Chain A
Amino acid sequence: MTNSQAILETAADMRREIGTNLHDRLTEAIYADAGAIADRAVSTGEHSGNLEQAFDRVLTSRIWGFPLMILLLMGVFWLTIAGANVPSAMLGELLLGTLYNALHSFAAVLNAPWWLSGFLIDGLYLATAWVVSVMLPPMAIFFPLFTLLEDLGYLPRVAFNLDRLFKRAGAHGKQALTMMMGYGCNAAGVVSTRIIDSPRERLIAIITNNFAICNGRWGTLILIGAIFVGATAPPFLASFIAATSVAAIAVLGVIFTLLVSAFLSKTWLKGESSSFSLELPPYRPPQIWQTLYKSIIDRTLIVLKRAVIMAAPAGAAIWLFSNIYISDSSIAAHLISFLNPFGLLIGLNGVILLAYIVAIPANEIVIPTILMLTLNLSKSGLAQTGVMLEFNDDAQIQQILTSIGGWTILTGINLMLFSLLHNPCSTTIWTIWQETRSLKWTTIATLLPVALGIAVCLLTATAARLFL
């Protein structure tokens, strides 16, 4: 017998002597001391009303909790969409108009060969410029607003409202918190599931985290919501309708989280949900400057940096694919025409599917990739003429997509749905593997959302074909 075993046996013997309620006795002793010390050290003055509790009664009430949550979300999206319009147009004008044309004139002066200026300006530069002009303004408005809500202490209230529903879905209430984390970054959301003790519930939280829309996808949703859904409404209602569509996608994400959680906990991951108590933190007056700093530096610029790092090589690759020919059309055209039948079947198109494959490393580059592929494709049709770009605001992006890409409102809506429901980015997939070390669950977490996305898009496309 080793010494450790001897120690454990002695302990077990003593345990019998001392009695089994030692844990409770110790806890009581600690509580008693803590209470006594706190009483001596704190003096409570007059309590100035219970404003916080009044707030909480409304914000977490069964009747008002959800409507208020949706209203707040819509308010945030509306401010983002309405506010991003002007700076977006200005940035577009500068980066895609003035600077782009200046670069081409400069290349012409240098007598640069067409393939060099094409590769550098129409590939590398254009993708980068598009990422910046499309993503920066909405992010710079949306992230501070969202961070403000977080700092105020609103997010835990949302989690509190959702807690009931998660329990009913057989999942852990803390999953609401990991979902909130996923609204920033799904990889971070997956890591945060460590706060869930039960492996069963943690797996459910990991698999469904992708339904929380991450930083990389908000930009796409806000833009497409504005130019496709918002544009169908009269101008004074446009931002409002656009905001509603983005909020609807976010809510749909929550619904999918709950449905998939319920499905998993009734099939592969059977079990009871464990209970926990969620602490509502106090409302804290946010510090405006710190919030701005935090959301601009830590969030907006980091997301943008990641997007630019991914966009530059992607842009270069797209240009090459679009300009290297096999028989009579480019590699990109071959790929797109291969993907097109299936894409169109589910209300998307080959360009979108290819863009989602290109954007596996970073969702941020979906829109620029789509734009470049669409333009390059049409350009190859137009026999390589130097296309002058004047597409520098959102309305013009819509024009490219509808007139050249052949998009309809169905394409726009389905892209928003697909943006919610598709595979996690490669970083998230890697993180899921790190956390689970299970090929099976990593594969399920990767493929389940895409399968759902294809099913949902097929459904809306079929409905549109039947009824419109």
Chain B
Amino acid sequence: MTAQAAAAIQCGSCSSGCNTAHLTKLGIKTGSWDYIVALAGNPNTGKSTIFNALTGLHQHVGNWAGKTVTRAEGAFTLGGKKFKLVDLPGTYSLLSTSVDEEIARDFVLFGKPDVTVVVVDATRLERNLNLVLQILEITDHAVIALNLIDEARRNNLTMNERILMRDLGVPVVPMTARRGEGVDELLSAIEQVASREFSARPHRIKYADSNLETAIEKLATQLRSEFDGLRNARWVALRLLEGDESIIDTVRKGTLGAVKSTNHFPPLVQVEAG
């Protein structure tokens, strides 16, 4: 069954506000757009499946970690607005330094997505939440796609998404993306967050350390005045305090906030020469 057919069947069963009916899959014809939506998450949680379901594209999906190594882009329209969807490589953390993970991190950080959808494997919630919490440190405008609900059910795990939503402070949508279940709900959540109809109160990690708080604030203020329009100054400040080499480097070069293009990948020959 194609994703489209799956969505159509799903559509027949939804009672209110059926989004799929107004969904037009635009494939790779991104052109201009009203909103950018980033698709982040741990490896092998179904990001590419959701990407395909929304854009009508056939980005290769495989049951293993590391299938997507580049940024794939697609588009769809919904409720008269055009959304550009960016499928990011899977990553366990934003604190790591591996190159494919850096692509994901830089986009969430500096690509200024209007909505960041974090796809979460319901059967491995705790580990997946590590990434969710890190993303919520960066952006308020997130939607959690609680995917693989069917597998969780098979493993006798019961999800309470309302508690999860309350704790995280952003919309949580239970899904079984490969059967098209939850796609409608995800779409309306994306729409609400994109239009800022939904006011998020995202979870913030508390650092019980007043020295640290002062340090973060001081650095963040300096960063904001140096880099115009930097949205995540506090996060960058924390990385600087941690001594994150890649962030230190972008500050030194003054490229903080610039997103590398899709195909920009450090050619090996430079490393070899160095």
B66 A177 Cβ-Cβ under 8 A: yes
Given A29-B205, A38-B125, A281 contacting B268 (CB threshold 8 A): no
A284 B134 Cβ-Cβ under 8 A: no
Q: How far is the CA of A39 from the CA of B125 in the complex (A)?
A: 9
* Chain A binding surface, main DSSP class: helix
- B1 nearest CB neighbor, chain A only: A289
Count how many chain A residues have C-beta atoms less than 8 Å from C-beta atoms of the other chain. 72
Which of chain A's residues 241-289 have a Cβ closer than 8 Å to chain B? 278-279, 281-282, 284, 287, 289
Give chain B nearest CB distance to A28 CB in angstroms.
10
A290: contacting residue among B1, B161, B164, B267, CB under 8 A: B1
Give chain B nearest CB distance to A95 CB in angstroms.
28
B99 / chain A contacts, CB cutoff of 8 Å: 194, 197
- A437 nearest CB neighbor, chain B only: B267
B203 / chain A contacts, CB cutoff of 8 Å: 33, 37
- A433 nearest CB neighbor, chain B only: B267
Given A34-B129, A35-B126, A4 contacting B242 (CB threshold 8 A): no
A174 B66 Cβ-Cβ under 8 A: yes
Asked if A17 lies at the interface with its beta carbon under 8 angstroms from chain B, I say: yes
Q: Chain A interface: which of B13-21, B25-33, B56-64, B182-190?
A: B56-64
Which of chain A's residues 174-217 have a Cβ closer than 8 Å to chain B? 174, 177, 180, 188, 191-192, 194-195, 197, 199, 202-203
Q: How far is the CA of A298 from the CA of B52 in the complex (A)?
A: 13
Q: How far is the CA of A174 from the CA of B66 in the complex (A)?
A: 9
B58 / chain A contacts, CB cutoff of 8 Å: 294, 297-298
A435: contacting residue among B43, B134, B248, B268, CB under 8 A: B268
Asked if A30 lies at the interface with its beta carbon under 8 angstroms from chain B, I say: yes
Given A8-B252, A197-B98, A287-B178, A202 contacting B160 (CB threshold 8 A): no
A45 B242 Cβ-Cβ under 8 A: no
Q: How far is the CA of A10 from the CA of B236 in the complex (A)?
A: 14
A438: contacting residue among B157, B225, B268, CB under 8 A: B268
Which of chain B's residues 1-21 have a Cβ closer than 8 Å to chain A? 1-2
- Could you mark each residue 78-97 of chain B with 1 if its beta carbon is under 8 Å from any beta carbon of chain A, else 0? 00000000000000000101
A438 B269 Cβ-Cβ under 8 A: yes
- Could you mark each residue 32-69 of chain B with 1 if its beta carbon is under 8 Å from any beta carbon of chain A, else 0? 00000000000110000000000000101111111101
A37 / chain B contacts, CB cutoff of 8 Å: 129, 164, 167-168, 203
Residue of A11, A26, A282 with most partner-chain B CB within 10 A = A11
Given A33-B133, A33-B205, A47-B155, A155 contacting B265 (CB threshold 8 A): no
A45 B158 Cβ-Cβ under 8 A: yes
- A188 nearest CB neighbor, chain B only: B60
Given A14-B241, A46-B156, A4 contacting B254 (CB threshold 8 A): yes
B64 A156 Cβ-Cβ under 8 A: yes
Asked if A43 lies at the interface with its beta carbon under 8 angstroms from chain B, I say: yes
Which of chain B's residues 100-155 have a Cβ closer than 8 Å to chain A? 100, 123, 125-127, 129-130, 132-134, 151, 155
Asked if A44 lies at the interface with its beta carbon under 8 angstroms from chain B, I say: yes
A294 / chain B contacts, CB cutoff of 8 Å: 58, 61
Given A33-B203, A290-B1, A14 contacting B219 (CB threshold 8 A): yes
- B244 nearest CB neighbor, chain A only: A23
A42 / chain B contacts, CB cutoff of 8 Å: 125, 157-160
Count how many chain B residues have C-beta atoms less than 8 Å from C-beta atoms of the other chain. 74
Q: How far is the CA of A197 from the CA of B156 in the complex (A)?
A: 37
B178: contacting residue among A8, A11, A290, CB under 8 A: A290
A23 / chain B contacts, CB cutoff of 8 Å: 95, 242-243
Given A26-B242, A42-B160, A191-B69, A293 contacting B2 (CB threshold 8 A): yes
B164 A10 Cβ-Cβ under 8 A: no
Give chain A nearest CB distance to B61 CB in angstroms.
8
Asked if B258 lies at the interface with its beta carbon under 8 angstroms from chain A, I say: no
- B243 nearest CB neighbor, chain A only: A15
Give chain A nearest CB distance to B5 CB in angstroms.
9
B64 A153 Cβ-Cβ under 8 A: yes
Q: How far is the CA of A192 from the CA of B65 in the complex (A)?
A: 11
- A151 nearest CB neighbor, chain B only: B63
A435 B44 Cβ-Cβ under 8 A: no
A191 / chain B contacts, CB cutoff of 8 Å: 69-70
Beyond A6-B222, A37-B167, 6 additional pairs, beta carbon < 8 A: A7-B251, A11-B219, A46-B156, A298-B60, A435-B267, A437-B270
Question: Can you show 7 pairs from A to B with CB atoms below 8 A apart?
Answer: A20-B243, A151-B62, A156-B64, A191-B69, A194-B69, A284-B151, A437-B269
Considering the complex of A and B, which 6 residue pairs feature the smallest CB-CB distances, nearest first? A437-B267, A45-B156, A34-B129, A38-B126, A11-B240, A438-B269
